[in-house]
Chains A and B, each alone.
Chain A
Amino acid sequence: MNTTVTLKKGLFGRLNLRQKTILIICLTSLLLFVIVISSLVLGGESLPTNFGFKNLAPSLEHPFGTDWMGRDMFIRTLEGLGLSIIIGAIASTFSTILAMILGLLSSAGKKTDSFVSWLVDLFLSIPHLLLIILISIGLGGGAFGVIVGVALTHWTSLTRVVRAEIKQLKTQEYVHVSGNLGKSRWWIATKHIFPHLIPQILLGTILMFPHAILHEASVTFLGFGLSPHEPAIGIILSESMKYLSAGYWWLAFFPGLALLIVVLLFDMIGDNLGRLMDPKSAHE
């Protein structure tokens, strides 16, 4: 109906929804934070190997069971998740920076705009997974290869968002007025454009996270990512394949499930943040 009225009348309620959303965001963030911290703390020392306890099914003592070297799978999973989150964070950050630069570039002029959209088309033309593999191979594999690979393949959608957002902002009345008042382009960019862009970019980065994590794990699983000595989830799962026929299901089941939950948590943060930022959906 009447949008202005909606906003006015919905204020109390939105506060409510806000609180709920913020609560969800805080809790999920806390959980992810705990995972990263504990993995960092645990990661300092190598896990004790105890061949007396090898290949144990899940129990109270070892909730995720133990592997063929008697290592506790719960701790291994935790470390793997921490590593995945860190790699995902680094890759997403680089991807965001790339997206910002290209988004700004595309709104600089017609030529740069068509160049950027051509670049987007190019990066979307090869299946992401294959492209990451290719980049990873090109860079000699390892963490560096994966991070660059993931960073180089995830910027496209955020670039489009940035581009569209700037385009929309540029047509706004107050931007025109500022221009007519003789304000410099830089002034307009920093005072009017960036403040509106930052929340969009933040949201874009968080939404990028789960994809980045999943792609890192996939590439590592296939053997093109982190080295087998790293405690990555992809490595754990790829190792577990050797023991599948022996029926050691917990080796694959729990680490993968944990990864799924982490990805789901990121999705939830992103969704809730998005809802927080979009007043239109506040009434649903």
Chain B
Amino acid sequence: MKHEKLLKFGGHEKLLGFAGKKTFKLISLLIVVCLASFWLIEQSPIDPVRAYIGEMSVTPEKQAQLEEYWGVNSPPQEKFLNWAGNILKGDFGTSLIYRIPVTDVIKEKFTASLILMAASWLISGILGFILGIIAGMKRGTWIDKIIKTYCYTLAATPTFWLALVLLMVFSVYLGWFPIGLSVPIGVTADNVTFLDWLHRLILPAVTLSLLGVAQIAMFTREKLKEVLSSDYVLFAKARGEKGLNLVLRHGVRNVALPAITLQFLGFSELFGGAVLVEQVFSYPGIGQAAVSAGLRSDVPLLLGIVLVSALFVFFGNTMADIIYEFVDPRIKQEEAAS
């Protein structure tokens, strides 16, 4: 009893410590990311005024005004402090291409991307887990070999190429989906019906899912092999458990948590995949916005997206840490043992 209480107390303290550490890490991380990305942009030959003006013709006075607004002639430290100060106030500036506040652009685009990423995250996770369990159960059989080959091949497949091939097959050849999926700039999500939007979501989500399956399936397969050769499975066999029931009772239970952890750690890859897939399918998400921002020198938007992506990845890593530290009882077991 006393021992238990001690453990619980320790757990509480651990939680506080964990939260504190994480918060500190996030803040320091964001500061450095801000500094580094700002410095990188500063190094680049990008001229924000030129980018803003674009094809418009402006008077010299207007140009001077813009230059002052962008602080072209002020020293980099001042520019950074100015920008960072605004960010602290929640003002990320105005997007040069969309001509609306960066926060609005990000909100809209990121929501679209989140749906895409969440869909493929779930599909690839579930499918990959099932395939991994099957492959691990049927180790060495033809079905295992097929799954393995699929995973190896998919891991070597360029994301954008797979997207192109699917686009060619399903949009060009079969005609199931329109080719130019893009919505003209200025048309917001409100103007698109739910079905249109779903229609647009399918191919990118399928592409991302197909690619995401590889890693999780191989991981699950290896992990299941580990579990199946564990002492507790040996004991379960000694007690007469066998076949599918054994795998379901002990295998799935013990592989699931590490697999979910891995899925959370894959947020960075997922984001990268989304950037490429959105570009090919012209899906109006954050990835496409990032590419446009980069290509058309929309510095405020690009910096905003970098920060949001860092937050996104941080969230995934933190979730993985939480599962590792607090949810998985095996960790507690190891801690207790040491």
Contact = CB atoms under 8 A, between A and B. Distances in A.
A138 B37 CA distance: 9
A137 B161 contact: no
Interface stretch (A30-38, A54-62, A251-259): A251-259
Interface stretch (A6-14, A97-105, A186-194, A218-226): A218-226
A230 interface: no
Among B29, B46, B164, chain A packs the most CB atoms within 10 A around the CB of B164
Contacts of B44: 137-140
Interface stretch (A15-23, A42-50, A128-136, A172-180): A128-136
Interface string A132-163: 01110111100000000000000000000000
B134 interface: no
B29 A210 contact: no
B168 A252 contact: yes
A249 interface: yes
Contacts of A224: 294-295
Contacts of B268: 124, 126-128
B43 interface: yes
A214 B291 CA distance: 17
B275 A125 contact: no
A130 B313 CA distance: 12
Interface string B54-82: 00000000000000000000000000000
B165 A252 contact: yes
Contacts, number: 137
A238 B152 CA distance: 25
A27 interface: no
A221 B156 contact: no
B160 A260 contact: no
B105 interface: no
Interface stretch (A70-78, A108-116, A197-205, A240-248): A240-248
B283 interface: no
Interface in B228-269: 267-269
B41 A138 contact: yes
Given A210-B156, A244-B168, A260-B153, A130 B161 contact: no
Nearest to A138: B40
B14 to A, nearest CB: 21
A122 B29 contact: yes
B32 interface: yes
B309 A252 contact: no
Contacts of A121: 25, 29
A165 interface: no
A7 B33 CA distance: 49
A217 interface: yes
Interface in B137-171: 152-153, 155-161, 164-165, 167-168
Contacts of A263: 156-158
Interface in B312-338: 312-314
Interface residues of B, number: 51
A248 B102 CA distance: 38
Contact of A137 (B25, B41, B179, B309): B41
A133 B269 CA distance: 14
A252 B272 contact: no
Contact of B164 (A133, A214, A256): A256
A244 B155 CA distance: 25
A237 interface: yes
A121 B314 CA distance: 10
B130 interface: no
Given A222-B276, A252-B164, A130 B306 contact: yes
Contacts of A128: 268-269, 272
B276 A221 contact: yes
Contact of A125 (B33, B165, B168, B180): B33
Given A125-B33, A218-B158, A260-B153, A140 B309 contact: no
A263 B271 CA distance: 21
A60 to B, nearest CB: 23
A264 interface: yes
Contacts of B46: 137
B275 A252 contact: no
B280 interface: yes
Contacts of B309: 126-127, 130
A92 to B, nearest CB: 16
A240 B163 CA distance: 13
A217 B276 contact: no
A245 B137 CA distance: 44
B44 to A, nearest CB: 5
A140 B41 CA distance: 10
Contacts of B302: 134, 137
B161 A237 contact: yes
Nearest to A217: B158
25 contacts: A121-B29, A126-B313, A127-B272, A129-B275, A130-B271, A130-B305, A133-B290, A133-B294, A134-B306, A137-B40, A138-B41, A138-B43, A218-B158, A218-B276, A221-B160, A222-B275, A223-B291, A223-B295, A245-B180, A249-B168, A252-B165, A256-B158, A256-B161, A259-B161, A267-B156
